[in-house]
Amino acid sequence: MKNVVILFLSLSIFCSCSTTKLNYLNVEGYKISKSEINSMKADNEYLAIRSVQANQLQLVKREKDGVVDRQLIETTLENQNGLVIEDDKPLVIIYHAGTGPKPYHKPHNFGEDWIRNWYGTLDTGLEELDQIKAVYICKELDILQAYQGLVEWKLDPEQIIENTFFDHDYPRSSFVVIGPNGKYISYFGEFEKEQVWEASRLLSSN
């Protein structure tokens, strides 16, 4: 009888948890409908971030711009990672916070050839634009074994890139481009090479 009661209570808790309504929130934190959130996600302007604790799905804007202390970021990256950064060119940072060797989500086979080709093309485009060299920064090195020998990732010193540009964890790459004057364009989540090139072009002329 005791086992039956325990089973009943367990099932009741499971059913209660599984039927708890998920709240959908816009960027400002106001409730919206599921259809509204799906519609707003469709054009890639927003990502929906799930919060298990709050049982909610909230939209966050993917592209942001503003002004930061470039010298502080540049000095921190150079001192902690032994990098040499040219301060008269855009600083391109590819940032990886989570698991998976994917800068964007497409039905590809993400093997060594694909990684070498994708990042090689990205780097070539930046080199042709203004002899720019991208800096590859990650939150944890051990999650990026698939890149070993292909892309040279450096740890995010003092979490300066994460804390300055990316408010949420996301298991894919993001990027930020910072101009010589401190103006920046960041993009959260999956991206295309062309977006990095365009942001670099815009900030090269500022």
| pLDDT band, very low/low/confident/very high, at 97 (cuts 50, 70, 90) | confident
Q: What's the average model confidence in pLDDT over 123-138?
A: 95
User: Quick one: pLDDT at residue 79?
Assistant: 94
pLDDT tens, residue by residue, 28-51: 888 888 888 888 877 788 888 887
Structure tokens belonging to residue 177: 């481009």
Pairing of the two strands 154-155 and 63-67: unpaired
Span 137-186, pLDDT tens digits: 998 887 677 787 888 899 999 999 999 999 887 778 899 999 999 999 99
Tell me if 136 sits within 8 A of 94, measured CB to CB.
yes
Query: Is residue 102 over pLDDT 90?
Result: no
3-class SS at 31?
Answer: strand
Nearest to 202 by CA among 131, 148, 130, 150: 130
* Mean pLDDT within 10-25: 59
Encoded amino acid at 176, one letter: V
pLDDT band for position 53 (cuts 50, 70, 90): low
Query: Contact 35/147 with Cβ under 8 angstroms?
Result: no
pLDDT at position 33 is: 84
Query: What mean pLDDT do residues 114-124 have?
Result: 94
Contacts of 125 (CB under 8 A, 6+ apart): 193, 196, 197
pLDDT > 70 in the chain, percent: 82
pLDDT band at 201 (very low <50, low <70, confident <90, very high): very high
Q: What is the mean pLDDT of the chain?
A: 83
3-state helix, strand, coil in the chain (%, to 5): 40, 20, 40
- What is the mean pLDDT of the segment spanning 59-72? 95
CA 25 to chain centre: 20
Contact between 122 and 175 under an 8 Å Cβ cutoff? The reply is no
Residue 5 pLDDT > 70: no
Pair of tokens at residue 178: 């910072």
Distance CA(36)–CA(16), nearest Å, equals 26
